Amino acid sequence: QQQVKQSPQSLIVQKGGISIINCAYENTAFDYFPWYQQFPGKGPALLIAIRPDVSEKKEGRFTISFNKSAKQFSLHIMDSQPGDSATYFCAARSNYQLIWGAGTKLIIKP
């Protein structure tokens, strides 16, 4: 019940396209849902986050869509750029602890 399931495992998108990564959860006690971006050899960096009382949050080219009834949330990257190539993790918070998805390796082809 503490799991966060993330898909796809890997994703290849053409430059300028839309990248979509999906996550699902079971624990209704989760109260905060961040997305992290990780480049090789670096620690994860917070990209964007949402609370469960909001259905959508947009920051620049990055949008989180949140469906509370379906217990799903997704990250959309608009106008994807080669510099967006990285591993993306969704996470969910419960009692100060972050539970992480397994990650999606995103490759943007020029």
For residues 51 and 25, what is the distance between their CA atoms, to the nearest angstrom? 14
Whose Cβ is closer to another protein: residue 73's or residue 89's?
89
* Residues near another protein (CB under 8 A), total: 23
C-beta atoms surrounding 28 within 10 Å? 11
Work out the angle at residue 62's Cα, subtended by the Cα atoms of residues 33 and 59, and round it to the nearest 5 degrees. Answer: 85
Toward another protein, which CB reaches closer, 31 or 79? 31
Conformation bin of residue 96: beta by default, left when phi > 0, alpha when psi is -120 to 50:
left
Residue nearer to another protein on the CB measure, 40 or 110: 40
Tell me the closest approach of the beta carbon of residue 92 to another protein, in angstroms: 9
Give the torsion sign (CA, 67, 68, 70, 75). positive
Please report, as residue ranges, which positions from 33 to 92 form the binding site for another protein (by CB under 8 A): 34, 36, 41-46, 49, 89, 91
Which residue number, 3 or 65, has a Cβ lying nearer to another protein?
Answer: 3
Residues that bind another protein (CB under 8 A): 6, 32, 34, 36, 41-46, 49, 89, 91, 93, 95-103
